[in-house]
Amino acid sequence: MQAVAARANQRFKQIRDAQAIAFAPPPVLELGNASGFDLELLDRANQGHENLMQARDQLLALVHKDARLEQVRANGLDDEPQYQFNVDWEKASALGLTITDINNTLSAAWGRNSLTTSSTGVASSACSSRAMRHRACCRRI
C-alpha cells in the first residue's frame, strides 16, 4: 500500500492549483496512521506577510532536501488575487437587471457559488473558486 501511495503522490505533484495527498489506510481503522509534528512560523519581527511567505517557502525547500522527512507541506493555500465587485443597484435596476442576472453572469465567469442578499438589498459574502488558477472573493457587493 505504501508503494501505491508513493506512486499516487508522485502523480499528484503534477497537479497545479491543488494539494492532493495519498496515504495508506491504517492496519486498524480506529487507531489512525498519522504521526509527526506541526510547525508554525511567526512574524515576531513584524517583517510583513510577503516576507513570512518567503521564509515559509525557503524552509520548505530546505526540508524537502532532507531524506528523513516525508510529505512535508504547508497548511492552507497560496495567496491568490482577490476581486471586489461593487454593484450599482440603482443602475442595474434601471437597466432591467436583477440580482439573479448578475449572479448568473458572475457564476458563469468565476465559479459556482451564488450571491446572497440581505433585507436591505445589499449583496454580500459571495465567494467563488475557479477551476483554473485564480480565485475571486467578494466581501461586500
Give a three-class secondary structure readout of 39-90.
CCCCCCCCCCHHHHHHHHHHHHHHHHCCCCCCCCCCCCCCCCCCCCCCCCHH
- Structural domain includes residue 82: no
Instruction: Quote the pTM value.
Output: 0.46
Distance CA 102, CA 54 (A): 38
Question: Looking at the predicted structure, is the pLDDT value of residue 20 above 60?
Answer: yes
* CA 111 – CA 104 distance, rounded (Å): 10
pLDDT digits (tens, 9 = 90+) for 113-138: 544 554 454 444 444 444 334 444 44
Q: Which one is predicted more confidently, 118 or 101?
A: 101
pLDDT tens figures, 57-85? 999 999 999 988 887 888 877 787 777 78
Please count the structural domains in the chain.
2
**Boundaries of domain holding 96:** 89-140
In Å, how far are 51, 55, 81, 123 from 47, measured between CA atoms?
6, 10, 21, 35
User: Of 64, 79, 111, which residue constitutes the final position of a domain?
Assistant: 64
> Quick check: is 77 in a domain?
no
In a domain, 83, yes or no: no
For residue 137, what pLDDT is reported?
A: 44
Query: In this structure, are 56 and 105 located in the same domain?
Result: no
One-letter amino acid for residue 140 of the chain? R
Is the domain of 11 the same as that of 48? yes
pLDDT at 22 over 80: yes
